[in-house]
């Protein structure tokens, strides 16, 4: 396994076409496009890493996997009255579908849906408290208390958050939010600004590998059926309007972030985190996707074969 | 296993809310909504059935799995220059996306995409020849030479085919079709009118269970990677704008037809065909989906767990 | 007045940027882009012309003014149950709005709306009879029995009519047409292929100048309120998604055709026909629009001033 | 003339179906639906009024006519690089078109367009200064220094302004605004909250009757061509997706507001203000439209006849 991981790292290091680093906030734009990290946690806890697997990066939308998990824990299936579970067929920040469907987002992984999830987690609390809860959960599943928020990224998000402010206000105009728009956005921008390394992220995702059980502690983080459902949502909607492409090429549930990270889950096998800041035209990590494609080809881990 | 299948059958027989039989063509509308059939072919060829598993029904859009397989065999990845592989987020017969994307359908399982696939298979031949090829393939994978086309359904389709004629003509106006519109529609309407039983359909789908290998003959019907990719497309797009819901609740690649059939694939486990003519609001078999949901709960076959 | 018309002709003859001749059917594409004609019929019948004012050209969508007038005569306000009277905000051949609004076109001047009008005029008759009626009306209002259909254009339309066939089939799938799709298209393609000169067209439109009264015969062709309403529809919808621009720059009710003709009405003043085959990006005659803009500047005929 | 106006008032007073008072902000919702006012200022300054022609109401979107006029005065045709001049075919608060067209509004009378106009007027100034300028202009054309802003309506708007905040933030995300979003919204909400009576409004609009000249002072408020163009925009876009209907039934340039007012211009004849708080389904004053329809029938003032 370490051989495979090393090989992937070497191949990726040699690639010239590395995509384009996200430019929409300055704090992300100044990251070095040549960095690449990969980390695997097998179901039994064995770890394989290569490249800058301990470098912190902005997890951005990958945080949506954790906020969804928390919201499901707090509210159960009631959450599905507020957000759908279908791919949208539209870019991550599209507002067209919202107008056609009375302000209800298609799924929890497009921006509008994640904003609703942030609102649902808050339950009248201040952003500070909601964030404490989110961080606590991520630290718990990653078994790592050092994980925190990059305040420079937060500031950058706030200064460049017009599109998300538009989405949140749009939903508010349909009475879809229960907390003030600016507080919901505060929570949302902060949880998107959490920094993690590939190793931390792979560990944090590992409860989704084992039907909801944390490999190291044996604790059932979420019920079995919920782990499966979160995986299904990651597969269907985890890469926006590139989700079909990711399923076709990689064949694993995965969630990408514009920071260049991807968390992918091979049920019963491993939790995998890759990071490379260059993005494809849809906004998913270019080398990250290619690395995962290679990994699945060599391991046969696609959920569509056996 | 037979116990599980029998139990599902008994539960389904007792259901009162059976959905609504497709009304758009008279030939489908006159089917008895109380019928229900289920058939499983395990990877080793063992068969479990219950209900009217030998009753013929109109496979309708399930035929698109087979025409896609044929097109991939004839043209390989070139086919993806003509049709996408993303969920559309729109109903099966939507034309909006086509206008926004210059007449190129999002995936091969919405009507527009399947019409392009029919066109691709024809390669200048007459509908008769294309249909012979399609039937030959289905008979081969089902190992059953009795499978044929229901001409009454064809007539019904032709008389009520305005929406599909609109889609085909729309694509033709963007030069997306290489054969005359009426001939492409002839091929499309005929392959949608193929009649099969649950047992025949489960057998026909079984090459997708075993990485492309036919369980009984050992013949590699399609390469391993292609079987996985067809499964991924079925999961992402097999139930139109209800694909997310099906993935969430069932967790298996599947393709539905308005005739009330669903073909579902549990990789490494079984090919499953269910049939119940009543449809949900999106156009997928209501009891068929519920039966598959129950099956996966009892067997743990979801591809999102292990 | 003749001075103004001559001056316009000379300015237009000197223009280099003449737009692009319609390429979608070969029969239109082979017209000489350097031709330009203009003809005015004043309310009292005085005629002023310049350029090739007697050259025949394909009136195309300008025919929709006459078919609408006929349909209103036969069915009165009932026609508005089948077609709207709002600008669509979309291109002439868009299908998006039809899907969002259950197959009912926004207005009678976009292609879909004009197809519904053709269907309404037929009332169960054959295209031949409907066309006889349309031609008879146009010959009557133009007081010219030589006006006829260019059969070469018809053939060209039929060979390149996929987009219109798509629109007609789409509406048929919502039961919006009462005659067979191919017959409705036959009527539509034929009336779009009527050939007229600027002089004939200006005469044909003159009943809209005088509250519905034909200047030469004194016959009330349509009631006063109907003449005003047809004018309002021409202003709002006569230039597709360039209608706002035309109202802004010219300020007269007008209807354009892809053959390069425009019929414009200055109520109480004159009926004006211009023709120049080069089109702007939206599909309206480039020099035709510029000529009308100049005419209104020199005459002060804008309906928005006094 | 006074007879006609009185008759209209009596007929309107007798109507039972009065539409529905705007409910989106409480301050508008508590207005009495039975009120009706009408006022005409003829080109020579003669005034005819009936009903509560001196009752103040919230002019809301009618203010957009004045802000557009100011913006054209400050920036000239440059303003058209920032906003279009086509009917949108969508409701007043739609965001769909903005996403499809990179954040550029179709015209200055839909909310998004008017927000851009507010931004253009500000030119770096504070809302307070921009509002002073807007009020000064309206007081000047109405020749009435008592016109002011209803601060209760402003507060109500601010508390219920999510949809407009969404539109403004959306455009900001495409760099379409040059002032901070909250300041632009401040300006916009305030100018929509200006209160005027029918008499004041009719006077304020009268420069559009006489090719830009104020009837009483003889001052050329805007150049002749600009008065015509503003009228054309009012006709094409003044009633949102009900503009075609208004042109068809009334046949005058007009601008409506959700407060129930309509300003209509009969070029060369009169400036007319009507007010009745009940709205039709699109958001235009129901009795106001009917009153104008009746007025035009009796006076023959439609711009589409003569």
Separation between Cα atoms, residue B128 and residue B122, nearest integer Å: 10
Whole-Å CA distances, A179 to A95, A171, A289, B188, D24: 20, 12, 36, 51, 19
Question: Among candidates D206, D255, D193, D208, which has minimal Cα distance to D56?
Answer: D193
| Tokens 């728009």, residue located | A181
Q: What confidence category does residue D73 fall into, taking pLDDT thresholds of 50, 70 and 90?
A: very high
Q: Which run of H or E residues covers position D291? A: helix D286-299
Q: Is C258 a catalytic residue?
A: yes
Mean pLDDT of chain D: 95
Q: What confidence category does residue C90 fall into, taking pLDDT thresholds of 50, 70 and 90?
A: confident
Q: What is the mean pLDDT of residues C45-72?
A: 97
Separation between Cα atoms, residue A109 and residue A118, nearest integer Å: 11
Q: Do A96 and D100 touch (CB under 8 A)?
A: yes
B300 φψ region: left (φ > 0), alpha (ψ -120 to 50), beta (else): left
Separation between Cα atoms, residue B47 and residue C200, nearest integer Å: 78
The answer, yes or no, to whether residue B31 has pLDDT greater than 90, is: no
Q: Is D94 on the interface with A (CB under 8 A)?
A: yes
Q: Which residue(s) pair with A57 in the sheet?
A: A196
Separation between Cα atoms, residue D131 and residue D217, nearest integer Å: 24
pLDDT in tens, D161-200: 999 999 999 999 999 999 999 999 999 999 999 999 999 9
Q: Is A61 a catalytic residue?
A: yes
Separation between Cα atoms, residue D259 and residue D156, nearest integer Å: 13
Q: What is the DSSP code (8-state) at residue B174?
A: T
Q: What is the pLDDT of residue B32?
A: 86
Question: Among candidates B133, B85, B83, which has minimal Cα distance to B112?
Answer: B83
Same domain, B50 and B25: yes
Q: Do B100 and C96 touch (CB under 8 A)?
A: yes
First to last CA, chain A: 18
Q: Which two tokens stand for residue A208?
A: 């989704």
Q: In what order do the strands lie in the sheet with D194-196?
A: D57-58, D194-196, D148-149
Contacts of A208 (CB under 8 A, 6+ apart): A65, A227, A230, A231, A234, A253, A265, A267, A271
Q: What is the pLDDT of residue A28?
A: 83
Contacts of C46 (CB under 8 A, 6+ apart): C1
The CATH number covering residue B255 comes to 3.40.710.10
Compare CB distances from D162 to A96, A98, A169 and report the shortest one's residue. Answer: A169
Q: Do D106 and C86 touch (CB under 8 A)?
A: no
Contacts of D246 (CB under 8 A, 6+ apart): D238, D239, D254, D256, D284, D289
Q: Is C294 on the interface with B (CB under 8 A)?
A: no
Kindly write down the DSSP assignment for every residue of D120-164, as one continuous string: HHHTT--HHHHHHHHHHHHHHHHT-TT-EE-HHHHHHHHHT-HHH
Find residues 219-278 of chain B whose CB sits inside 8 Å of chain A. 224, 227-229, 231-233, 235-237, 241-245, 247-248, 251, 253, 267-269
Whether C149 is covered by a domain: the verdict is: yes
Contacts of A253 (CB under 8 A, 6+ apart): A208, A230, A231, A232, A233, A234, A235, A238, A264, A265, A267, A303, B304
Q: What is the mean pLDDT of residues B226-232?
A: 97
pLDDT in tens, D193-235: 999 999 999 999 999 999 999 888 899 999 999 999 999 999 9
Q: Do C181 and B162 touch (CB under 8 A)?
A: yes
Q: Do D169 and A162 touch (CB under 8 A)?
A: yes
Q: Is D61 a catalytic residue?
A: yes
Helix locations, chain C, DSSP H:
2-14, 26-29, 63-75, 96-100, 111-122, 127-142, 151-159, 162-172, 181-192, 198-205, 224-237, 243-249, 286-299
- Return the residue of B nearest to C97 by Cα: B96
Contacts of C163 in chain B (CB under 8 A): 169-170, 173
pLDDT in tens, A187-220: 999 999 999 999 999 999 999 999 999 888 899 9
Q: What is the mean pLDDT of residues C10-33?
A: 88
Whole-Å CA distances, B192 to B58, B119, B152, B160, D9: 7, 14, 12, 13, 64
Q: Which of D111, D161, D170 to mutate to test the interface with A (most CBs of A within 10 A)?
A: D170
**Chain D nearest C-alpha distance from A162 (Å):** 5
Q: Is C306 on the interface with D (CB under 8 A)?
A: yes
Q: Let me know the angle formed at the C-alpha of B272 by B271 and B278, rounded to the nearest 5 degrees.
A: 155
Separation between Cα atoms, residue C229 and residue C235, nearest integer Å: 10
Same domain, C240 and C289: yes
Compare CB distances from B173 to C100, C166, C172 and report the shortest one's residue. Answer: C166
Q: Do D89 and C107 touch (CB under 8 A)?
A: no
Contacts of A229 in chain B (CB under 8 A): 248, 304
Q: What is the mean pLDDT of residues D94-108?
A: 92
User: With the C-alpha atoms ordered B256, B259, B260, B264, is the resulting torsion angle positive or negative?
Assistant: negative
Same domain, A150 and A71: yes
Number of domains in chain C: 2
Q: Which of B174, B194, B214 corresponds to the end of one domain?
A: B194
Whether D306 is covered by a domain: the verdict is: no
Q: What is the pLDDT of residue D271?
A: 98
Whether D284 is covered by a domain: the verdict is: yes
Same domain, C42 and C150: no
Separation between Cα atoms, residue B153 and residue B148, nearest integer Å: 12
Q: Which residues of chain A are modeled with pLDDT < 70? A: none
Q: What is the pLDDT of residue A30?
A: 80
pLDDT in tens, B158-170: 999 999 999 999 9
In chain D, which ranges are E strands? 20-21, 37-42, 47-51, 57-58, 148-149, 194-196, 254-256, 261-266, 270-275, 278-279
Q: What confidence category does residue C217 fall into, taking pLDDT thresholds of 50, 70 and 90?
A: confident
Q: Which of C165, C192, C219 corresponds to the end of one domain?
A: C192
The answer, yes or no, to whether residue C176 has pLDDT greater than 90, is: yes
Separation between Cα atoms, residue C168 and residue A8, nearest integer Å: 54
Separation between Cα atoms, residue D173 and residue B57, nearest integer Å: 53
pLDDT in tens, C189-209: 999 999 999 999 999 999 999
Q: Is C64 a catalytic residue?
A: yes
Residue pair D250/D289 in contact (Cβ under 8 Å)? The answer is yes
Whole-Å CA distances, A215 to A70, A193, A207, A219: 19, 27, 7, 8
Q: Which of A176, A194, A212 corresponds to the end of one domain?
A: A194
Separation between Cα atoms, residue A144 and residue B89, nearest integer Å: 38
Contacts of D118 (CB under 8 A, 6+ apart): D67, D130, D184, D187, D188, D191
Same domain, B78 and B34: no
First to last CA, chain C: 18
Residue pair A68/A117 in contact (Cβ under 8 Å)? The answer is yes
Q: What is the pLDDT of residue B30?
A: 80
Q: What is the pLDDT of residue C223?
A: 97
Residue pair B24/B92 in contact (Cβ under 8 Å)? The answer is no
Whether A24 is covered by a domain: the verdict is: yes
pLDDT in tens, C55-66: 999 999 999 999
Q: What is the pLDDT of residue C83?
A: 97
Same domain, B140 and B205: no
Whether A304 is covered by a domain: the verdict is: no
The answer, yes or no, to whether residue B147 has pLDDT greater than 90, is: yes
Query: Beta strands A278-279 and A20-21: pairing type?
Result: antiparallel
Q: Which residue(s) pair with B213 in the sheet?
A: B220
Q: Do A267 and B304 touch (CB under 8 A)?
A: yes
Residue A119 lies in domain = 61-194
**Chain C nearest C-alpha distance from B107 (Å):** 19
Whether A158 is covered by a domain: the verdict is: yes
Q: What is the pLDDT of residue D162?
A: 96
Q: Do A251 and B235 touch (CB under 8 A)?
A: no
The residue annotated as part of the active site, out of A9, A48, A215, A240, is: A240
Same domain, A81 and A8: no
Q: Is C24 a catalytic residue?
A: no
pLDDT in tens, D13-45: 999 999 999 887 888 888 888 899 999 999 999
Same domain, B6 and B106: no
Percentage of residues in chain A having pLDDT higher than 70:
100
pLDDT in tens, D253-291: 999 999 999 999 999 999 999 999 999 999 999 999 999
Contacts of B89 (CB under 8 A, 6+ apart): A86, A87, A88, A89, A90, A97, A106, B241
What letters, b where the CB count within 10 A reaches 16 and e where it falls short, cover A202-228?
Answer: bbbbbbbbbbbbbbeeeeebbeeebbb
The answer, yes or no, to whether residue D247 has pLDDT greater than 90, is: yes
Same domain, A119 and A185: yes
- Return the residue of B nearest to A298 by Cα: B225
Whole-Å CA distances, D207 to A289, C3, D72: 63, 32, 15
Q: What is the pLDDT of residue D278?
A: 95
Same domain, D43 and D111: no
Same domain, D181 and D215: no
* Chains touching A by CB (3 or more pairs below 8 Å): B, D
Q: How many CB pairs under 8 A join A and B?
A: 125
Q: What is the pLDDT of residue B28?
A: 83
Q: What is the pLDDT of residue A261?
A: 98
Whether B137 is covered by a domain: the verdict is: yes
Find residues 144-183 of chain B whose CB sits inside 8 Å of chain C. 162-163, 165-170, 172-173, 181
Same domain, A67 and A150: yes
Compare CB distances from C165 to B94, B163, B169 and report the shortest one's residue. Answer: B169
Q: Do C236 and D244 touch (CB under 8 A)?
A: yes
Q: What is the pLDDT of residue A306?
A: 86
The answer, yes or no, to whether residue B27 has pLDDT greater than 90, is: no
| Tokens 């007073």, residue located | D13
Whether B165 is covered by a domain: the verdict is: yes
């Amino acid at each position: 396994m370490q051989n495979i991981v090393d090989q992937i790292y070497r191949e990726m290091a040699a690639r010239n076409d590395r995509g384009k680093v996200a430019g929409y906030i300055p704090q992300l734009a100044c990251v070095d496009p040549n960095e690449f990290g990969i980390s695997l946690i097998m179901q039994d806890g064995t770890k394989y890493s290569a490249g800058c697997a301990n470098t912190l990066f902005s997890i951005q939308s990958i945080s949506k996997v954790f906020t969804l998990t928390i919201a499901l824990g707090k509210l159960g299936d009631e959450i599905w009255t507020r957000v759908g579970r279908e791919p949208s067929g539209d870019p991550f920040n599209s507002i067209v579908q919202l107008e056609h469907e009375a302000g209800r987002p298609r799924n929890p992984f497009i921006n509008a849906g994640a904003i609703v999830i942030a609102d649902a987690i808050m339950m009248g609390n201040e952003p500070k408290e909601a964030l404490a809860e989110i961080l606590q959960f991520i630290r718990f599943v990653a078994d790592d208390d050092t994980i925190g928020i990059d305040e420079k990224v937060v500031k950058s998000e706030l200064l460049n958050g017009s599109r998300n402010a538009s989405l949140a206000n749009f939903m508010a105009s349909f009475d879809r939010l229960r907390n003030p728009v600016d507080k919901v956005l505060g929570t949302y921008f902060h949880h998107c600004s959490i920094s993690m390394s590939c190793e931390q992220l792979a560990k944090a995702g590992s409860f989704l590998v084992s039907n909801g059980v944390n490999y190291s502690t044996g604790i059932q983080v979420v019920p079995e059926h919920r782990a499966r459902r979160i995986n299904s949502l990651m597969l269907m909607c985890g890469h926006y309007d590139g989700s079909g492409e990711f399923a076709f090429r990689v064949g694993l549930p995965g969630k990408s972030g514009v920071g260049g990270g991807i968390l992918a889950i091979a049920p019963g096998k491993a939790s995998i985190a890759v990071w490379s800041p260059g993005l494809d035209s849809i906004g998913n990590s270019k080398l990250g996707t290619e690395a995962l494609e290679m990994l699945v080809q060599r391991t046969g881990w696609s959920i569509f074969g056996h």
